[in-house]
Amino acid sequence: MRSSNRRDEAWAIRYMQEHPELPMPPGLRVVPQESRPSTPAPRLTDGYRSKLERFYAQRLDAEQHAGVVLHWEYEPFSLRLGHDCFYMPDFLVIYRAQPTLIELHETKGHWREKARVKIKAAAKQHYYFRFQAVQYNRGEWIYEPIPAKAGRI
């Protein structure tokens, strides 16, 4: 297990313990690194999977320095969607304006259908998070909220 994953999982547990006013999300379970899919995408030398993710992390650092973002993590955990199907969000973001709301951001240069289906399924099953699709196009960041619709997929 990567030491940063242990640190991230420990942080999530501490955050929930420090904020008892937040209800524990039903069915939330941090999946240990050993049981995560064994074929992750290759990483860049600095730990990010793509240049876009590195660029977005720099943006989050700047927003944190400016006081807009309270805290952020890169690939904090995996969410189970079904048998042998997991979704690992790129970023967990907590904004200072709403410290009890946890957002999960997915950065994509181009959206494939499989990725859209996965994030929609995750938003539906894990409705206690706010999901955002983030793209960088022509010099600006575009945020697309992914609604948590009720009912079956």
Q: Is the pLDDT of residue 116 over 60?
A: yes
Has residue 19 been placed in a domain?
yes
Q: What percent of the chain has pLDDT over 90?
A: 53
Question: How confident is the model at residue 125, as a pLDDT?
Answer: 92
Distance CA 119, CA 138 (A): 24
Tokens found for residue 45: 């030398």
Has residue 74 been placed in a domain?
yes
Would the pTM count as exceeding 0.85? no
Has residue 151 been placed in a domain?
no
Which domain range does residue 106 map to? 3-32+46-146
